[in-house]
Amino acid sequence: MSTRRRTLLTAAALWLPVAAFAAPITMGFSQVGAESEWRTANSASIKAAAKAAGITLKFADAQQKQENQVKALRSFIAQKVDVIAFSPVVESGWDTVLKEAKAAGIPVILTDRAVKVADPSLYVTFIGSDFVEEGRKAARWLLERAAKTPNATLNIVELQGTVGSAPAIDRKKGFEEVIKTNPKLQIIRSQSGEFTRAKGKEVMESFLKQRDKKIDVLFAHNDDMAIGAIQAIEEAGLKPGQDIVIISIDGVRGAFEAMKAGKLNVTVECNPLLGPQLMQLAQDVVAKKPVEKRITVEEGVFPAEVAAKELPNRKY
Ligand code: AHR
């Protein structure tokens, strides 16, 4: 039995007013992994916010594997936590375990990444970014830049995030939706770099080795892959940010440093500091207060020109 349920029962048994007790909430949280600077900031935000809110956090790192997340969710159900929150590594394959949580009466909050389920009542709410819009913002920046050289064809290579993940699917979708308005912009190669620096570097190296077409632009689905790719570009004797224009997403400190050094052209913000809002939501959900089904956060676009000024203000 969870601490919260035990406290409520004890209060009831002693004929004490239950409402007077702020019973502690236990949250089971399944994190994707530790694949990026973004993820490190997200985990830190969740841990700090749980502590500040007096929520007991059972934190499990899935190391980018869905099977580990399913195991963690089942273990939270067995432990009878008050609420489950998780950032699903991929979009599909969650129906069975979420039905198990529902049958056990444990509410589920999605954070950062969304799921595709037949029955949306399997989760209570989602809090995170609008990834499609992030892809659109990245492409709009490129369209404006391309407008300065209207006759030039721009060959784009794309480093996608984890295959099947909401940010990889949605950022690609948003980016393509906008660039198709200018036929001079063409994606010539696209492959997953799994949201990591190491894989981003490896895939960029292979893009650079194929010499059939000149690469003008790199669109990386996150800053870590862009930073890995920057190393590959430099090792190939090219100047990142000049010979190849680089666009990425997240807005982590490493990206601002790369922009300051002239090696990255723009980053679209994806805010990882979701902890405080998540804890508030968890309290509301456990108290059975009505909550929005989808809560998205406000985010900006930071081109290299503002990097030096913005760097000291960055919180992650
Ligand atoms: O789901 C958010 C994405 O996951 C971030 O853009 C990326 O850096 C992370 O790994």
Q: What are the tokens at 88?
A: 């699903």
* Ligand 1 contact via 43 beta carbon (within 6 Å): no
Grouping H, G, I as helix, E, B as strand and the rest as coil, residue 46 is helix
Ligand 1 atom closest to Cα of residue 250:
6
The topology (CATH level 3) of 24-129+272-298 is Rossmann fold (3.40.50)
CA distance 175 to 59: 33
Using the mean position of ligand 1's atoms as its centre, give its distance from the Cα of residue 1 in Å. Answer: 34
**Cβ atoms within 10 A of the Cβ of 200, count?**
31
The per-residue pLDDT string of the chain (316 residues; one tens digit each, 9 = 90 and over) reads: 555 555 555 544 444 444 445 679 999 999 999 999 999 999 999 999 999 999 999 999 999 999 999 999 999 999 999 999 999 999 999 999 999 999 999 999 999 999 999 999 999 999 999 999 999 999 999 999 999 988 889 999 999 999 999 999 999 999 999 999 999 999 999 999 999 999 999 999 999 999 899 999 999 999 999 999 999 999 999 999 999 999 999 999 999 999 999 999 999 999 999 999 999 999 999 999 999 999 999 999 999 999 999 999 999 9
pLDDT score of 150 = 87
pLDDT score of 88 = 98
Ligand 1 atom closest to Cα of residue 167:
1
- Answer whether 0.85 is exceeded by the pTM: yes
Using the mean position of ligand 1's atoms as its centre, give its distance from the Cα of residue 84 in Å. Answer: 20
Ligand 1 atom closest to Cα of residue 35:
10
CA distance 171 to 177: 10
Query: CA gyration radius for the chain?
Result: 22
Q: Where in the chain is CATH 3.40.50.2300?
A: 24-129+272-298, 131-270
* Ligand 1 contact via 112 beta carbon (within 6 Å): yes
DSSP 312: G
pLDDT score of 5 = 54
Using the mean position of ligand 1's atoms as its centre, give its distance from the Cα of residue 196 in Å. Answer: 9
Q: In what order do the strands lie in the sheet with 125-128?
A: 56-61, 26-31, 83-86, 108-111, 125-128, 294-296
Domain spanning 131-270, CATH architecture: 3-Layer(aba) Sandwich (3.40)
CA distance 68 to 190: 28
* Ligand 1 contact via 110 beta carbon (within 6 Å): no
- Going through the chain in order, the beta strands assigned E by DSSP cover 26-31, 56-61, 83-86, 108-111, 125-128, 154-160, 185-192, 217-220, 245-250, 266-269, 294-296, 301-303
Using the mean position of ligand 1's atoms as its centre, give its distance from the Cα of residue 195 in Å. Answer: 7
